[in-house]
Homo-oligomer: A and B are copies of this chain.
């Protein structure tokens, strides 16, 4: 299974960053998975949200190509962990790599969301973007353990 994960900017909080590393390492033991922390918009006031999202969209787009694109979005569909594992298995059987895109502080530009083959929601609740990253990685790791039949650690 070829997986790619994209999000703008490095995760800043040390605790979230360590948890991210913890889950990513375990994911990489079960699948070919690359995380790319793309260019984030800096020094622009939050009221210029569209400009921020546009700058980040340009950086994300360089990596999107013809992959099967799954964007995380509050507007997306929810799945339980077993259905997510099955969904991943089905996607992984195709020759197209799967790319997950997680938004930054202000979410993703519409332009990126429109490119998505699938919109995935982790919860009805809104999580901070750094928490979303860790929740997403934990789900990806959980799904891969479900598919591999290995025990879930931690």
Contact = CB atoms under 8 A, between A and B. Distances in A.
Interface of A: 13, 15-16, 18-19, 22, 78-81, 84, 122-128, 130-131, 134-135, 138-139, 142, 152, 154
Contacts of A13: 154
A135 B124 contact: no
A139 B22 CA distance: 23
Contacts of A130: 154
Contacts of A134: 131
A131 B135 contact: yes
Contacts of A127: 135, 138
Contact of A123 (B18, B125, B128): B125
